[in-house]
Structure 1
Amino acid sequence: MTDDQHPPSLDDLDARLRKARERETPSAKAGRYHRLPQSPLGVAWRIGTELVAAMIVGVGGGLLFDRWLGTAPWGLVVMFFLGAAAGVLNVYRSVTGLGYAPGYRRTHREDHDRPHGDGQ
């Protein structure tokens, strides 16, 4: 930009944002922060994957920890339980939708204000 050209004002930006928001469809506005519905099979695969991945990481880390420090089987036992706890926590978060959008936390009112029958 040269000195004689000024950046657009914040009022102009605000007007453009309002126009863009008005063009949104009602369904896009209602479900802006909610996940798209998943099929039951998709949810089952996600839950299974979350649990198995956490267990693999926990048991693998325990085995490496034991080999490194020579503390067999205590590292494996501790990391097994930590992996199981992490897997259950991941499943809970994925099912309830916690942590889906960074910096956003659904309120109890938002969960009850959305229209019924939208599959969410």
Structure 2
Amino acid sequence: MTDETKSGTRSLESRLEAAESAQALRASGETHRAMAQGYRFIGEVVGGVLIGVGLGWLFDRYVGTAPLGLVTGLLIGSGLSIFVAVRTASRKTKDEMAKAGPLPVVADDEDED
């Protein structure tokens, strides 16, 4: 084999190793957990809005207040969905911060005026 062939083979092997490591990173368990949490988050938001609209529509159907129940259900469902989404994101952030540990201490620079 010539030197060009050997260097080409080494280059190909290094690119293959890089691609395999990137693929392993994509398929890691942490990635799957993050995707599952994202889908759950979307489900909570969309589900809350749809349930609010559905209950508002049922209320309109049986009571006869045509658009009022539907609009109210939409607003309440949207509000509750946003509340649940913010609460879930806040809890997840708090858990990740606790898992990461304390922040590094940076020395205070007293020379600043």
The TM-score with structure 2 as length reference comes to 0.52
* 1:85 maps onto 2:79 in alignment: yes
Gaps of 5+ in 1: 1-36, 99-105
Gaps of 5+ in 2: 1-29, 103-113
Cα 1:42/1:69, change in 2 over 3 Å: same
**Using the alignment, how far apart are the partners of 1:65 and 1:54 within structure 2?**
16
Q: Which residue number corresponds to residue 6 of structure 1?
A: none
Output the aligned Cα RMSD: 2.9
User: 4+ runs of 1 displaced by more than 4 Å?
Assistant: 111-114
* 1:64 maps onto 2:58 in alignment: yes
**Using the alignment, how far apart are the partners of 2:81 and 2:66 within structure 1?**
23
Bigger relative contact order, structure 1 or 2, given CA contacts below 8 A and separation 6+? 1
* 1:73 maps onto 2:67 in alignment: yes
Structure number with bigger Rg:
2
Task: Specify which structure has the higher proportion of helix.
Answer: 2
Equivalent AA in structure 2 for residue 71 of structure 1: T
**How far is 1:42 from its partner?**
2.1
* 1:52 maps onto 2:38 in alignment: no
Using the aligned pairs only, state the percent identity. Answer: 29
